[in-house]
Amino acid sequence: MSTAATSSEPVRRIRVMLVDDSAVVRALTRRWLDADPRVEVVRVSVDGEQALKDIAICQPDVVILDVEMPRMDGLAALPGLRKAAPGARVIMASTLTSRGATTTIKALQLGAADYIAKPEATALGAADAYRRDLIDKIVALGERSVGAVKAQAGPIRLRPQVGRGIKPAVLVVAASTGGPAALQAFFTPIASRINVPTLIVQHMPATFMSIFAAKLGESIGRACREARDGEPLGPASFLMAAGDRHLRIARAAAGCVVRLDQEPPVNFCRPAADPLFESAAAAYGQRVLAIVLTGMGHDGRAGSAKIVGAGGRVAVQDEASSIVWGMPGSIAAAGYAEAVEPIEQLGALTLGILNGDAA
């Protein structure tokens, strides 16, 4: 018998543990979460040291972990928290500073599932957006634990491999929630063997972007940085979408170049995957390979439609290895993906396609 929850079965609330040294933040966050019927706050801790004692008792589904705290900060506490509650998903709560960004990126590489940028105390109106974003992340990360995953994506409909034998001229990759760790896992085995321009969109605050690009490059052994408007694309190009800028590809007299802009957000994101994917299809036609990794929402779906419409190819990360199967799941359900693979196998598939599906 299936253990999945049905509409007639009660679904327990998502168990949340809050770790923050600020009494004001703790009180405000708890008030928000207590007002949501999907969420139950099971523990509130004032620092990482207390959290390590508390987590074994409460066994939460989601931990909101402040980055900067006295006695023991979030980064120091993270390994112990993950060991004590392996099934818990950790959201790092960070300030929008270089120091906060650097620590948060390290935490994501160490296994934190996601992050949320705390608004500045002087940013009027930002608290409501922060509340919505935080609750959306908690629900997305906690649904699988409580058996409440919605069948939003629908069944997988694999697309025939119509472009076999054609070597792609560009690789475009998109990720969101869980992306930093997924990008590292995806690229580490293959980065040195990729010989086409590679462009990456990761949903992330502008303050974090350049730091993340550099850290990703260090971890995969290939230089990676934010893209610059107007730069030409060559085989050695390995570029991340710049903070708060859409990344697009445009044709120029001497070849394809990068274009950055601040057009309105797409799918509530800037940068977003769809502008990159759509422009790649227009610039390269059937010689595009798109890879979509873990992430909330459906960014990349419309762009994938353009890519397959031009004869290009799309593959996505599978549900089991994704932190959130929103973006890849929406593409698989729409019938745009020719393959749905675990992150461990997606790299080998990518290299095979880039090499013209050579054996």
Span 274-320, pLDDT tens digits: 999 999 999 999 999 999 999 999 999 999 999 999 999 999 999 99
Per-residue 3-state assignment (H helix, E strand, C coil) for 136-157: HHHHHHHHHHHCCCCCCCCCCC
User: pLDDT value at position 122?
Assistant: 46
User: pLDDT value at position 144?
Assistant: 75
Residue 132 C-beta-side C-alpha neighbours within 13 Å = 5
Residue 59 C-beta-side C-alpha neighbours within 13 Å = 5
In a shared domain, residues 178 and 133 = no
**Per-residue confidence band for 2, with pLDDT thresholds at 50, 70 and 90:** very low
Average confidence (pLDDT) over 11-18? 92
Scanning 63-125, the segments in alpha helix (DSSP H) are 74-84, 98-109
In a shared domain, residues 112 and 209 = no
The last residue of a domain, from among 146, 178, 202: 146
Q: How far is the C-alpha of 2 from the C-alpha of 232, rounded, in Å?
A: 53
Query: How far, rounded to the nearest angstrom, does the alpha carbon of residue 196 sit from its chain's CA centroid?
Result: 23
User: pLDDT value at position 160?
Assistant: 82
Average confidence (pLDDT) over 257-264? 98
Closest among 296, 304, 9, 319 to 139, alpha carbons compared: 296
User: pLDDT value at position 165?
Assistant: 83
Number of domains comprising the chain: 2
- Judge whether 359 lies within some domain: no
The last residue of a domain, from among 85, 112, 146: 146
- Determine the structural domain holding residue 215 and report its residue range: 170-354
Average confidence (pLDDT) over 134-163? 76
In a shared domain, residues 106 and 221 = no
In a shared domain, residues 193 and 100 = no
In a shared domain, residues 103 and 191 = no
pLDDT of 151 over the 50 cut: no
Give this prediction's pTM.
0.89
In a shared domain, residues 51 and 175 = no
In a shared domain, residues 141 and 194 = no
- Judge whether 164 lies within some domain: no
- Judge whether 41 lies within some domain: yes
On whether the CB atoms of residues 322 and 153 are closer than 8 A, the answer is no
- Judge whether 2 lies within some domain: no
**Per-residue confidence band for 125, with pLDDT thresholds at 50, 70 and 90:** low
In a shared domain, residues 137 and 176 = no
**Per-residue confidence band for 76, with pLDDT thresholds at 50, 70 and 90:** very high
Catalytic residues: 176, 203, 299
Per-residue tokens: 117: 């940028």
Please give the span between the terminal C-alpha atoms of the chain, in angstroms, as a whole number.
41
CATH number of the domain at 34, please.
Answer: 3.40.50.2300
- Judge whether 337 lies within some domain: yes
User: pLDDT value at position 161?
Assistant: 80
**Per-residue confidence band for 124, with pLDDT thresholds at 50, 70 and 90:** very low
pLDDT of 11 over the 90 cut: no
CATH number of the domain at 177, please.
Answer: 3.40.50.180
Instruction: Please provide residue 346's backbone torsions phi and psi, each rounded to the nearest 5 degrees.
Output: -70, -35
- Judge whether 274 lies within some domain: yes
Mean pLDDT of the chain: 90
In a shared domain, residues 74 and 199 = no
Give the position of tokens 């036609």: 285
In a shared domain, residues 228 and 130 = no
In a shared domain, residues 136 and 191 = no
The last residue of a domain, from among 112, 146, 180: 146
Closest among 42, 84, 205, 196 to 133, alpha carbons compared: 205
- Judge whether 289 lies within some domain: yes
Q: What is the pLDDT of residues 78-110, one digit of tens each?
A: 999 999 999 999 999 987 777 788 888 989 888
In sequence order, what are the beta bridge partners of 93?
A: 66, 116
- Judge whether 4 lies within some domain: no
Strands, E, within the chain: which ranges? Answer: 14-19, 39-45, 62-66, 89-95, 114-118, 170-175, 198-202, 225-226, 238-240, 246-252, 255-261, 288-292, 313-317, 339-341
In a shared domain, residues 52 and 135 = yes
**Per-residue confidence band for 249, with pLDDT thresholds at 50, 70 and 90:** very high
